[in-house]
Chains A and B, each alone.
Chain A
């Protein structure tokens, strides 16, 4: 029995030494990053950063169940006791909320040069990189392909469309952007028409894409990575960048955003990580990975399935205004969903 206790204790000490970061790395620089981008895409980038700089990264990842807002809310909860140095958001709205809540600090990274101004906070509280586009995934069996998001109200698609729950994620963001771009009346009419056309509400963009891939619905508005993944899997779908005509609103772009946390414990290491994330090389890696994200630096190598940002007509978006609008329209969206 005594031998077993000794063996178990030794094993536990070994496990502690190997698994508890910081136990045997005293003096090594470290940086704490909270991440809303999916772990499978973000972790390899953070590991590369560790390897290249020797700075230990201590991450906290979000879960899909928390609708990728769990770590942002943790940052808000830790406002007076910050544990994080950097926040890697998977959309700029969360970064904008942190700016408005006085959790973010300004930082103009030299790596951000070359990224269009519309994807950066003018005061440097957040900077966008590697984006998703909001586009239509369409089943190949559909003969008359939709070209605009307004096809949701087209009687020809009655009962044949699906959209992710607009109370969460990028769907909420895009609807809020439309409220700003079109004005309240036109945006409300769009929602009413969509509902009148018997749109199905799915739990997520991924589920919407699966429904379309399985032929249960004609099309859905999803993130470009959801569509790209179904195409890579050989599903009978295609992606259409909506509203690309001269007089049309363009395609809504959702960049990742990186934020320096105010009074974070490791500000210098944090800036190095931000510079790294905003580099063209990181954008190239994210474009070539299964994330299939669109680089915001021009001229970065991309696979065929990822269009270059300069070839897309993008929707003019004030992300700060969108962040404010999202809170305003939440009751309306809840009512629309039926809660």
Chain B
């Protein structure tokens, strides 16, 4: 038991140093004006009309994104999971693509398409083209990009949670009800907690999103925090700007915990494998297929096509490779190392939460999720405040600072995936091994790890994607000569050739998607 306590205590300590300490340092700075304790930064924040405008913009953007993502993602998820829609597996893969692509790249692609000199400008009159461009740069454009990015999360959640429904229930209902009524009366109510959980995640991700609003010039608190630091060099005001987001996140997570947590726990796979009830679409097949195809063309194919067209010939890709190859390799390396560290840390955090090893397990869970939902720029500023000292240059002046940032922000992802994986392991297995005298490290190595292997691989992939696409933290803290590809794409945007930027974005997408395809192929081979 000693090894277990020491390991999990060390995990707690690491989390406190990595995640909590930067935020505490930032918060302490925001309460200081000219060295004296003061609420001046918060008084100023509350006194200006701009703050309320920013809050309204942030909430409005997050709500609109969540609403559209849910209204589209839920029916789409039901269509591909519960019906005989043609090519539904292909649709799932295609619709999931925007979720793994960094959202600001989707924004770049829409700008390439709809700007006054964009690819589609010849298809519209000049006035229409200007109007479309005007809409893109602002609230509608941000909603379009974020909803197309996060909608797949709701779709995938819907698909996942429909598998938790016992097909016998649906079959019984079908004896006296039409398929649509079964969906409305049985399926949707049963998966509602899962869909609401996905919607909450979309709301929080949209609330903390920084890359898209800053690129499409829409003022929200996440952007304000970044500009307060980078433009005005005001640590305290930057932190104060982040506090409303943190409070809002805290409230949303609190509501999620009290309203959804128990219900989500109750949603477990039926254990009946692929035995799910499928609704035949019959005469509706054609028009529903057409509708889904149009949606897919709009939110997936169009942005990708726009990037590929803007990049043009293969020579552009060669030029882009010459310009960004160092950054690309650094990104892949740092994301891979970050994902590995996150998988390890997430495993112990997840284990701690699942086994309720400490009385503060709820606080640990909420704390990691809160860090995940905070804008990356806030964590970046906290890291600078904490580690920017001559004594800690081993961290501050090396890529370790980026890795610490990843660990601070993304542990919730791997932690939660581990919890999900551990849920499927009966506690009796570990207990039996303990009764037989197996030590804790041996139980972990011989029983737990092999059984959660798939969950850990999934966690690694999710972490890899998030580390690879990170801009908020990396842009603020990357050491000299260590820029990553997302940062380089941002710096190239100042007067860089659009074709070069588009080609760099395509390379970024390839770096994100290729490992996913590789792992998927490997897992398929292993299954055979």
Contact = CB atoms under 8 A, between A and B. Distances in A.
Interface of A: 1, 4, 8, 12, 15-16, 18-22, 32-34, 38-41, 56-70, 72-73, 76-78, 80-81, 83-84, 168, 203, 206, 210, 214, 216, 225, 229, 290-291, 339
B50 A339 contact: yes
A58 B482 CA distance: 8
Given A40-B497, A66-B227, 11 more contacts: A39-B492, A40-B495, A60-B481, A69-B230, A81-B388, A81-B390, A83-B479, A84-B480, A203-B217, A206-B495, A214-B116
A32 B480 contact: yes
Nearest to B235: A77
Contacts of A66: 226-227, 230-231
A60 B476 CA distance: 10
A73 B229 contact: yes
Interface stretch (B71-79, B332-340, B405-413): B332-340
B332 A63 contact: no
Interface in B314-330: 326-330
The 9 closest A-B pairs by CB, nearest first: A58-B481, A19-B329, A66-B230, A73-B233, A58-B480, A70-B230, A19-B330, A64-B494, A21-B481
Given A1-B526, A81-B393, A83-B397, A63 B493 contact: yes
B116 A60 contact: no
B491 interface: yes
Contacts of A58: 479-481
Contacts of A20: 330, 333, 399, 482
16 contacts: A1-B522, A15-B330, A19-B326, A20-B399, A21-B481, A33-B480, A39-B488, A40-B497, A59-B480, A64-B494, A65-B230, A65-B490, A73-B232, A76-B233, A78-B388, A214-B116
B386 interface: no
B480 A83 contact: yes
A32 B522 CA distance: 42
Contacts of B490: 63, 65
Contacts of A68: 494
Contacts of A67: 227, 230-231
Interface string B231-258: 1110100000000000000000000000
Contacts of B226: 65-66
B493 A15 contact: no
Contacts of B230: 65-67, 69-70, 73
B389 interface: yes
B231 A18 contact: no
B478 interface: yes
Contacts of B493: 63-64
B312 interface: no
